[in-house]
Amino acid sequence: LSNKSRSFLSILGILVGVAAVIAMLALGTGAREDIKKRLASLGSNLLSVRPARHRAGGIHLGPGSVTRLTIGDAEEIKKIPYVRRVNSTVSGRGQVVYGNKNWNTRITGVTPEYPFIRASPAEEGRFFNDVEMITRSKVALLGKTIVRELFEDENPIGEYVKINRINFRVIGILQEKGATGWRDRDDEIILPLNTAMYRVLGRKYVSYIDVEVEDEKEMEKVQEEVKKLIIRRHNIPLDREDTIEVRNMAEIQEAVSSTVKTFAWLLGSIAFISLLVGGIGIMNIMLVSVTERTREIGLRKAIGANNKDILSQFIIEAIAICLVGGILGILFGAAISGGLAKFAGWSTKVSMGAILLAFLFSVGIGLFFGLWPARKASLLNPIDALRYE
Residue 271: closest CA among 65, 26, 74, 5: 26
Tell me whether strands 160-163 and 83-98 are parallel, antiparallel or unpaired: antiparallel
Residue 199: predicted pLDDT: 94
Gap between the Cα atoms of 221 and 304, Å rounded? 82
Query: 31: Cβ–Cβ under 8 A, 6 or more apart, which residues?
Result: 260, 263, 264, 346, 347
Looking at the chain, the whole-number percentage of residues with pLDDT higher than 70 is: 88
pLDDT in tens, 265-279: 787 777 778 778 877
More confident position, 250 or 341: 341
Residue 340: predicted pLDDT: 81
Gap between the Cα atoms of 11 and 238, Å rounded? 66
Residue 388: predicted pLDDT: 56
Phi, psi of 173, deg, nearest 5: -120, 130
Q: Are 47 and 222 in contact (CB under 8 A)?
A: yes
Calculated CA dihedral for residues 130, 131, 133, 139, nearest 10 degrees:
-110
- Report which listed range, 43-52, 224-233, 272-281, 315-324, is most confident: 224-233
Q: Point out the least confidently predicted range of 79-93, 266-280, 326-340.
A: 266-280
Query: 261: Cβ–Cβ under 8 A, 6 or more apart, which residues?
Result: 32
- Extents of the domains making up the chain: 4-38+255-387, 68-235
What residue type is 211 in one-letter code?
A: V
**pLDDT at 109 exceeding the cut of 90:** yes
Q: Tally DSSP H helices, then E strands, for the chain.
A: 12, 14
**pLDDT at 62 exceeding the cut of 70:** no
Residue 195: predicted pLDDT: 97
Residue 294: predicted pLDDT: 74
Gap between the Cα atoms of 281 and 12, Å rounded? 10
Gap between the Cα atoms of 275 and 282, Å rounded? 11
| Per-residue confidence band for 86, with pLDDT thresholds at 50, 70 and 90 | very high
**What does the mean pLDDT of the chain come to?**
83
**pLDDT at 201 exceeding the cut of 80:** yes
pTM of the model: 0.63
| Per-residue confidence band for 157, with pLDDT thresholds at 50, 70 and 90 | very high
Average of per-residue pLDDT across 159-188: 88
Burial of 303-333, coded b for 16+ CB within 10 Å and e otherwise, reads eebeeeebbebbbebbbebbbbbbbbbbebb
Residue 293: predicted pLDDT: 72
pLDDT in tens, 177-192: 876 656 788 899 999 9
Average of per-residue pLDDT across 195-224: 92
**pLDDT at 71 exceeding the cut of 70:** yes
**pLDDT at 380 exceeding the cut of 60:** yes
**pLDDT at 69 exceeding the cut of 80:** yes
More confident position, 185 or 1: 185
Gap between the Cα atoms of 208 and 44, Å rounded? 18
Gap between the Cα atoms of 233 and 73, Å rounded? 8
3 state SS of 349: coil
Residue 385: predicted pLDDT: 56
3 state SS of 58: coil
More confident position, 299 or 327: 327
Q: Point out the least confidently predicted range of 13-27, 127-141, 244-258.
A: 244-258
Sequence-distant contacts of 309-316: CB under 8 A, at least 24 apart: 310/374, 310/377, 310/378, 310/380, 311/374, 311/375, 311/377, 311/378, 312/374, 313/374, 313/377, 314/286, 314/289, 314/290, 314/370, 314/373, 314/374, 314/377, 314/378, 315/366, 315/367, 315/370, 315/371, 315/374
